[in-house]
Amino acid sequence: MAEPSSDRHLFLNRELSWLAFNERVLAEARNGSLPLHERTKFLAIVAGNLDEFFMVRVAGLRQQAQGGLVELPADGMLPGELLAAISERAHQMVNDQYAVWTRELLPLLAANGLQVLSRENLQPEQKAAARSWFQSNVFPALTPLAVDPGHPFPHLRNKSLNVAIVVRRSGQRRKKDAGESSLAVVQVPAVLPRLVPLPSTSGSAFLLLEELILLHASDLFPGYAVEQAAAFRLTRNWDLDIDEEDSQDLLASIQQELRRRDRGAVVRLELDAAVSQTIESQLRAALKLSPGDVYRVPGPLQLQDLTAISEPAVISNADSMVQIIGQKDLLLHHPYESFDPVVRFLDEAADDPNVLAIKQTLYRTTGDSPVARALVRASENGKQVAVLVELKARLDEANNIAWARRMEENGVHVVYGLIGLKTHCKVTLVVRREGNGIRRYVHLGTGNYNSATARLFTARTELADDVSALFNLLTGYSTQPNWKRLAVAPTTLHTKVLELIERETARARKGEPARIQAKMNSLVDPVVIRALYAASQAGVDVDLLVRGICCLRPGVPGLSEKIRVVSVVDRFLEHTRAFAFGVGPQTDVFMSSADWMPRNFHRRVEVMAPIEDPQLKQRVLDEVLGLGLRDNVKARQLESDGTYVPVPLQLDGQAVRSQMVALETARRVGQAPAEPVIRHVAAPIDKPPAVPGSTP
């Protein structure tokens, strides 16, 4: 064994330095100025980093310590003393990690309508739903494994979640002799979702899969009573040992080593902090671990899985859009987030053999429209494609006519809307064969099919029903349906907006909290404006982001002193139209293709759709509405005399430029476009065929 270097004081230890880095990452999870999803992301990074650290670095040090073959680092620390130092630092880090989760992030999730429940605090309705889920989805996949002289301790995969259960035969009296009890292990199926949804009176509620199994542990052992039960997780030596020079087939050697390393020695055991000493002792003995290798945690194991309930959806090229949308609603905030997912959604649908039909409205197109290209290809691939092209879209008539003709020539069913009405709504419906039935995927936009608007993707049944009915109305003979979730102009949208304003007005008159927030391009409709005045007089807080025309006069004593109007004109041309009515959990959030103008309410086909996913609702409130209302760099506030004045800085002097904050947020979560789109219409690259008599 090499002697420690005499100049060891010149160097910091590599492993301890790495742990110090991970502590700095953990500090970001504590940073209260970051969004909740970013804080949970940093917590996940810490957990994943520790997994890898134990699987490779700690495992290697243990091999050195046990084998006596030591390669001293420059700092000269011996494997034994280094392992002791790592254990002390790592235990403290895990304690700090779970302190952030339990004291800070878990309460914040609950405040944002996302509850992670334990089996002890379920309501009767939730218990019934949990039992139904367990019996239908989980119980058939479980394999209880006894641990006794005839059944050796099972081999458990690296980083797998498991449940340890101590049972005794029913009817036996419990004696001091521990031999009366038996240990069993149940592996938590990795193929099932970690988060089990449960009913909730507000927001969303989840139960961890291992908690669900623990709740019903007695079902797994008929004739036995469950004395104790706890979840645990183990980490194995996962390092590869490949001699590349002696390997004739490197690929085969690596595949063989990958299979072998799942038999690696266990280097860490994670346990519920409340677990009994009996279970810990039995597990340590079976896995050949010392007390220092055990990490008791006061919270869920494998925190990486839990970040999914708070983080915004990030589009991975590895997943198809229908897979993503099928799992959860998706909101894209353009131009700050990439427009690529919209194009991918149509490109994939055009080539997907299971897609039966695509229906879409097109109000404006660019000369080189990837959307129109995808629709043409879908028709060529034998799908039913129906497109409503609005020929009366101002300044885009020639483009729309050219694309309409090109699509018709390629077998697309092209219609031109309802007589006397412009079709201004932005809607796509993809009908896909799945299993023994079909599923419909909906895309709703607040502006045109370009990259300067907000978009919602969903597969919710009632919204899909409404969108199907809308296309039947636009393309064929159909009476006005009874809309389930959509408000549609020219029939129900105006009435719905007035009803929502009146609801907040009534709340304020009762002394209840009431608020209206809205973002749009223009506010002109006199009936809506009068309703907003009445809301202000009743005490409703009204905050409006109106980029362009605003006919409402804010700040007039006795009329509109509770109304604030802000206009943000900055680098990007936005077309987001989003509305929120209510305070706290009672807030209803909508996105729409319509401004609050007479033409939108009465002379156009428009839609307003509710945003029902709690995460996306909060995101609209924070990033679309709240951020714009906090802008004090590019925002101008409308005065009662019709002038616009700069919004003053906050008391803390912090400058907020909303568009740059939104762009930076998109970059941090990997959704920003490579080149932010500033122009309203991209320069054409491949023009559609020219229409005779049209201007080139």
Distance between CA atoms of 652 and 658, rounded to whole angstroms? Answer: 17
Determine the length of the chain.
696
- Give the CA distances from residue 144 to residues 159, 178, 221, 232, in Å, rounded to whole numbers and listed in that order: 19, 21, 8, 15
Alpha-carbon distance 82 to 95, whole Å? 20
Token pair listed for 250: 């490197």
Active-site residue, from 216, 333, 334, 424 = 424
Nearby residues of 294 by Cβ (< 8 Å), 6 or more positions away: 269, 270, 271, 280, 284
Cis upstream peptide for 149 (omega within 30°): no
Task: Please give the Cα distance from 392 to 521 (Å, whole number).
Answer: 20
If you search the block for the tokens 């039913």, which residue do you land on?
384
What one-character DSSP code corresponds to residue 561?
Answer: T
Tokens 């009762």 label which residue?
Answer: 510
Report the alpha-carbon distance of residue 96 to residue 341 in Å, rounded: 38
DSSP SS3 for 295: strand
Rounded to whole angstroms, the Cα distance separating 386 from 391 reads 15
Is 648 within 8 Å of 633 (Cβ atoms)?
A: no
Nearest to 108 by CA among 330, 306, 310, 329: 310
Which amino acid, one-letter code, is at 494?
H
Judge whether 424 counts as a catalytic residue: yes
Q: Which of the 8 DSSP states describes residue 136?
A: I
Task: At 291, list the tokens.
Answer: 């007390």
User: What residues act catalytically?
Assistant: 424
